[in-house]
Amino acid sequence: MKLPSDSVNPLVRLLRSLWAPTTRSMRGWAMASVVVNAGIAVTGAGVRVTGSGLGCPTWPRCTPDSFIPVAHPEVSMINMAVEFGNRLLTFLVLAVGAACVIAALRLAPRRRSLLRLAWLQPAGIVLQALWGGVVVNTLLNPFTVGMHFVFSVGLISACWLLYVRAGEGDGPLRRVVHRDVRRLGHVLVAATFALVVAGVVVSGTGPHSGDEMASRFDLDIEAMARLHADVAYLVVGLTFALLFALHVGGAPRAARRAAGAALAVELAQGVIGYTQWFLAVPAMLVLLHVLGSTLVWISVLRATTSLRTREPEPFPVDHSPTEAAAVA
């Protein structure tokens, strides 16, 4: 008998992935959430480098009298459209987060570990939206703008953990490498987070503030850039050490590939970083660098989570009991 899940209609398949989710579809929604949260972090940088940070000068309204862009004597309609478009993307991110919650609620048997991680997404997105109001009301203060990106990094982490945990069971945690190698992975995550924070400080010190009215950190941009580069060298060194330890220790292929991918992404990000510095920080390279930052973070998370696993679920990973009963 042909099941609705076999339908070629994309809408039917989408709805079934929510109402009768499998492990595979649950992971699909989690990965979609990783992508949209990384995407809105990059588009947020696009708002900044185009000088559209105060394109909508009020919050939650775009202008004092309207929730949507209307002609304003002091604001360019282009800047207003860019900022308003980024605000609209928040609803897409929220919709994907809500889909993760629905899928986690409908997954049978229900797993609390997944449900907790899924609920972090809409909660975090609402926090991000409210913080956006703080950013506008503080006239793009570099601290509030930087925290906006840091919150995005936290949300991406929750989404990635949901993706990983959805493919595992809820049994005891089991290392697939030596204990010290896994500790090295934890140190790498901490160093990468420090790299993100250093990058936020550099961004808040340099050009592309988002608006002429925005303030900047009163720091030496060259000194901050050098500090950022030093932390980047540390991250690359730790990643190489992890990759070396995994090869020497005969770690699973998935772990070695994840560490190798992380090193490649970090090196590419370094090339972008040095290029934008020597070219006086052009806007397009800033966008690429922000994209690279999110990819570095995701790749390091991937490398670290590949160092452990949990016991599998008692039912096949590609079918929920609901679907198995339908097949029978």
pLDDT tens profile 63-110:
888 999 988 777 889 999 999 999 999 999 999 999 999 999 999 999
Predicted local confidence at residue 7, as pLDDT: 60
Structure token pair of residue 51? 């000088």
Mean pLDDT of 269-282: 94
**CA 239 from chain center: how many Å?**
20
Helix (H, G, I), strand (E, B) or coil at 7: coil
Query: Who's near 30: CB < 8 A, 6+ residues apart?
Result: 100, 159, 160, 162, 163, 166
256 phi/psi in degrees, rounded to 5: -65, -40
Taking only the tens place, the pLDDT of each residue in 106-118 is: 999 999 999 999 9
Alpha-carbon distances of 56 from 65, 250, 288, rounded to whole Å: 11, 55, 24
The answer to whether residues 148 and 128 touch, using CB atoms and an 8 Å cutoff, is yes
pLDDT of residue 312: 66
Residue 20 DSSP code? S
* 215 has pLDDT over 60: yes
Assess contact for 21 and 106: CB atoms under 8 A.
yes
Of residues 222, 52, 204, the one with CA closest to residue 141: 204
Query: 220-236 pLDDT, tens per residue?
Result: 999 999 999 999 999 99
Note the pLDDT tens digit of each residue in 150-174.
Answer: 999 999 999 999 999 999 988 888 9
At 21 the three-state DSSP class reads: coil
Query: What SS3 state is found at 108?
Result: coil
Q: Provide the pLDDT confidence category of residue 213 given band limits of 50, 70 and 90.
A: confident
Instruction: Pick left, alpha or beta for residue 68 (phi over 0 → left; psi -120 to 50 → alpha; otherwise beta).
Output: beta
What local confidence, expressed as pLDDT, does residue 171 receive?
Answer: 86
In the chain, % of residues over pLDDT 70: 92
Would the pLDDT of 121 be above 60? yes
